[in-house]
Structure formats: structure tokens, C-alpha cells
Structure 1
Amino acid sequence: MTKPLVSVIIPTFNAEKYISDTIQSVQNQTYQNWEIILVDDASTDATPKIIASFLTDKRIQFYPLEKNSGTGVARNIALEKAKGKYIAFLDADDLWKAEKLEKQINFMQTYELPFTFSFYEWMDEHGNTLAKRIEAPRNLSYRQLFFCNYVGNLTGIYDVDYFGKITISSIRKRQDWMLWLDILKKIKTAKPVPESLAYYRIHTDSLSISKTELIRYNFAVYRQFHGFNWIVSVFCMIGFLFTQLVIKPFYKKTI
């Protein structure tokens, strides 16, 4: 099979603790035809200095912003610079397994899929695995995605030749969910690579985010992205909460 260029988009903000490991997880890929595009969202720590130390690898590009503008803006700037046939996403504190790109690109080419994602595992702030694998429906429909984001941002890849470059929402939270919804509107269903190919880092402070905040972020998706009125958005949130509490737990596996 051919090995087209994969553009890996990594926005950063105050990620000095993790960014080295994240970049190295891409460098360690068995699939080597990639470029990394890092856009730093005005970090106040050593993140830019650490990234600069990797720039001897000519496949890595770095664009620092002077003003903090949000993850969506950073991702869109990276998207403008991307030259790959495939766009892949990775957050600055997450990791890929070494065969992630090879297995996922092969899966896309074998089944002629313009978009895929994969299962992933949780790890703690120190990189220790938490024996939890997050799975997803084997044929993910738009309706399923509408009520729950089953696609881990660190696993999604789409084909630019099929979709073009898809602009990411500037809403501060849940941009990835909105991106996947845009994609599923066009292809109706999506198939995951049915194995874990990445590690998602769970932070202590993220666990303490109030349920009220989580509801607010998702309510904004229904109001601002879908353009629904308050009444419709409330009914959508009821479906969202039901999915989160009743259905999604079946996709969290102990390993």
C-alpha cells in the first residue's frame, strides 16, 4: 500500500510537562511519512523552548501565537499549514502507540474509508495506565454521535481529498465533537479501528470539573453549532444525559 503524508495537528498551551513525550510518540511511529504542525497558544511556561529543541527534525513545524486565542484557532492555523492527504489530531498531553498511524492508515486504505478513529486507553498524569479502554460503536451513526462524542480527538483521522480541509469551530470547548458531526453529516456512518491505538491522559483537575460545567459546554453545542432554540436544546440535553449515564458506560472496558 502507498504511504501518503499525514499531517499531525498539535495545539499547545502550558504543556511543558508532557509535550516532549507527545512529540516523541509521533517520532516513534512505524509509519514515518508524517509532518507535525505545532501551534502554541501563547504559553507562559517552557513549552515553546521545549518544542524548539525538536526542530532539528525537518518534519516538525512550529508556529507560536502572541495572544491566547483558544484551541480552535490554534488548530485552524495548523490546518492552513498542513500539506498531508490525511489530517490527524493529537493533544499536547496525549500519546500514540507506535503502530497507530500504520494500522489506521492501512485500515482506511483497505476499506476505502475517508474517516476513521480508534479505541484508546486512559493513563494518569504520570503516564501510568489506568486499566480502562474506551471503545465505540462499530458502525457509528450521526444519530449516535449527536447525543454523545464517541470519537477520541487523539484518534481521529480524515482524508483531505474527500472532505477538503474542514474549518474547526472557535467555540472554546467541544470543537472536536463538532468536527466529527460535520464529517458524519456527509458519510452517515463511521467505523473505528477495533483496537486501542492511543493513550488519553486523565488529569486530577479535569475530574473535578463540575457536572454543571459539562452540561453547559454541551448545551452550547446544541445552541450555537446546531442553532437550536432553548426548548429543542433542552430535549437534546435529556438525550445526551441519558446516553452518558445509561449507554456510554457499556463502552468503557476494564483491561
Structure 2
Amino acid sequence: MISIIMPAYNAEQYIRNAIESIISQTYQDWELLIIDDNSSDNTLKIIDSYASDSRIRIFENTSNLGPAKARNLGLENAKGEYIAFLDADDFLHREKFESQLKFMQDNRLEMSHGNYCFCDDSGKISKKVYVSEKIDYFTLLKGNQFKIMTPLIVRNKIMDLRFPEVRHEDYAFYLDCLKRIPYSLAQVERLDSFVRVGHASVSSNKIKSAIWTWDIYYKYEKLGLLKSLYYFICYAYNGFVKHKII
């Protein structure tokens, strides 16, 4: 079984699409853990409309705790052999889990990932992103090629891992995963994940992302000044020059 963890905060515009992309999966042995992070819109009402599906488990935070704590609540309650994540404004191709799980089992993998697409509010694709086929800890340090929903991980390898309360918490979490798992492998031909791009300034987002990435290197990973500079230059080259990583 695959446990999919979905934090949700004021996501009424998109969350139904996200949930339906799980329900419509060709692989049906899953549970969906939705954590409503004290939404003030109709998000919880939409989530509750799916309560009759026993595979969907709903959790309600009484205050807004942020995505790290919401995902950690999901990790603490997950029962599946595999772990995946999906944000409430994104969605998946209906064959993602069937294809990705078979790929992992055929290759005896503990972690896999995939390519993804950026899309607008309507779901129209604006950019396709192809990532490295094989990613280990040191590859990931050179730039985060994962989106939150692209990896699928064997749960018993990360049973005690949790998302840290830092900016780019997903990057920090996947770096921690790859300290335990030798590498993640991708099906290079597939595009199975869809990321909605918000309306915030792209240049502003990139500046924030750069600051947060530096903090991951220097403060979270404690790489020291020289190593942090080296990996930050790699990140900048990959992200700003090659435009493959955002």
C-alpha cells in the first residue's frame, strides 16, 4: 500500500482536483492522509465530502502549524509500505503510482523519482522539466531536482525521519532521506507530476529560494563556508543558467 500525505491550507480552488487525481489512479491500493491546517475557507468542507471513502483519512489541526508539521502528522499516522506526498494545489497523472511502483519493484529500489511539468491555474502545461536519472545525496546538494510529489520511498527506510521546520523543508527532508538511501532512480521517459505555478513574482521567488538554499547548506547541513559556497555555485548554475531547476 502507498500512503499519500497531503497538507491543505485554504486550498478550496484546487484541492478537489488533487484528491480526484489520487482517486483516479490505476493503482488502487493506497491511503490518502489529508491534514487540514486550520483553513479559513471551504477546504475542510470539500475534504469532508470525500469522507465516505475509507481510504481517505482526515486530520484537522486546531491552529495553522505550517506544511512541515502537517506532513509530519501524516508520517506519524501512515500505514503503507511506501510513502508519497502531494500538495493540495498540484495533481498527478492517473498511471503515476502503478508505473512508479512497478519500476521500483523491478529494480529493487528503495526510492524513485520522476520528471514533472509546471502548469497554470487551469492545468495547462507551461514547461516540462526533465531531471537526472540517478540522484544521490551529493547530486541533490547541487540543486533540488525533486518536487514534493515526485519521489516514492520505502517507508521503513525513513520511519523516524520528519520534516524540519526550516524554509525549503522538503529539500532538507529529501537530503536526509538520501543520507540513508544510496540513491533515487527515475523513469526518464515519463512525465507524471504537475505543479501549479503561483502568481508571485518569479524573480522575487528566485531570490527567496536562493537565500533559503544557502541556509540549507550552511545552517541545516552545516557544510562549512567553502563547501556551502561550492554547492551554492552549483545550485546557481543549474537553476539560473541552465533553467532546469527552479
TM-score normalised per structure 1: 0.89
Instruction: Say whether the 8 Å CA contact 1:14–1:45 is kept in structure 2.
Output: yes
Counterpart-to-counterpart distance in 2, 1:72 and 1:160: 17
Q: How does 1:47-62 map to 2 (within 5 A)?
A: 47-62=43-58
Q: Are 2:169 and 1:175 aligned?
A: yes
Which residue identity lines up with residue 181 of structure 2 in the other structure? Answer: I
Q: How does 1:60-99 map to 2 (within 5 A)?
A: 60-99=56-95
- What SS class does the counterpart of residue 176 from structure 2 fall into? helix
* Aligned residue in 2 for 1:10: 6
Match of 2:145 in 1: 150
User: 2:213 aligns to what?
Assistant: 218
Mapped pair 1:136 → 2:112:
no
Distance across 2 between alignment mates of 1:126 and 1:193: 26
CA deviation map 1:103-159 (0-9, x unaligned) = 0110110000010111111210121222x2111111223222102001121111100
Q: Aligned AA for 1:78? A: G
Q: What is aligned with 1:113?
A: 109
1:161 deviates by 2.8
The unaligned stretches of length 5 or more in structure 2 are none
The answer on whether the counterparts of 2:157 and 2:181 sit within 8 Å (CA) in structure 1 is no
Say which SS state the counterpart of residue 58 (structure 1) adopts.
coil
Cα-to-partner distance string for 1:54-82 (whole Å, 9 max, x where unaligned): 11111101111111111100000011110
Structure 1: give runs of 5+ residues left out of the alignment: none
Q: Runs ≥4 in structure 1, deviation > 6 angstroms?
A: none
Give secondary structure in 2 for the equivalent of 1:205: coil
Matched letter for residue 154 of structure 1: M
Residues 100, 112 of structure 1: CA spacing in aligned structure 2 closer, same or farther, 3 A cutoff?
A: same
Which of 153, 159, 164 does residue 164 from structure 1 map onto? 159
% identical equivalent positions:
31
- Whether the 8 Å CA contact 1:115–1:159 is kept in 2: the answer is yes
CA contact (8 A) 1:41 1:65 kept: yes
Corresponding residue SS for 1:204: coil
Determine the structure 2 residue equivalent to 1:186.
180
Partner SS for 2:241: helix
Contact 1:125–1:204 (Cα < 8 Å) also in 2: no
Helix, strand or coil: the match of 1:92? coil
Q: 1:168 to 1:236 in 2, by over 3 A?
A: same
- Give the conservation status (yes or no) of the 8 Å contact 1:124–1:202: yes
How much has 1:232 moved relative to structure 2? 4.8
The amino acid across from 1:77 in the alignment is L
Q: In structure 1, what residue type is equivalent to 2:151? A: G
| Amino acid corresponding to residue 222 of structure 2 in structure 1 | G
SS in 2 for 1:154: coil
- What's the CA shift for 1:230? 5.1
- 176-185 or 232-241: bigger deviation: 232-241
Q: CA deviation at 1:213?
A: 1.5
Q: Distance in 1 between matches of 2:240 and 2:219?
A: 24
Deviates more, 1:73-82 or 1:132-141: 132-141
Q: CA deviation at 1:228?
A: 3.9
